[in-house]
């Protein structure tokens, strides 16, 4: 399952065999604004995913 969590939360179609960066580009996500969490652990965007993985993109917020 692939989820995007931030100002809005949504679920997107799985893309088995892709890497995280490809999934991010398809969904218009930037590495400067989102962190990839794969199976509960933060990972770099070059990791490959398969249909059993749980991938969550978490939007980075800052404040002061």
Note the pLDDT tens digit of each residue in 23-40. 898 888 888 899 999 999
In a domain, 37, yes or no: yes
pLDDT given at position 3? 82
Look-up of token digits 């949504």? 10
**Residues counted in the chain:** 64
In a domain, 64, yes or no: no
Domain total of the chain:
1
pLDDT given at position 36? 94
Q: Are 6 and 59 in contact (CB under 8 A)?
A: yes
Look over the chain and give the mean of its residue pLDDT values, rounded to a whole number. Answer: 85
Q: Give dist(CA 63, CA 53) in Å, integer.
A: 31
Domain containing 45 equals 2-59
pLDDT tens track for 2-61: 788 877 777 776 665 688 998 898 888 888 899 999 999 999 999 998 888 889 999 998
What CATH number does the domain containing 27 carry?
Answer: 3.10.20.30
Task: Please name every residue paired with 50 in a beta bridge, in sequence order, or none if there are none.
Answer: none
């Amino acid at each position: 399952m692939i989820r995007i969590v931030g100002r809005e939360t949504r679920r997107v179609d799985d893309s088995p065999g892709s890497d995280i960066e490809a999934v991010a580009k398809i969904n218009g996500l930037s590495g400067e604004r989102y962190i990839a969490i794969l199976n509960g652990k933060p990972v770099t965007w070059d990791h490959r995913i398969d249909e059993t993985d749980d991938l969550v993109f978490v939007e980075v917020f800052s404040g002061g």
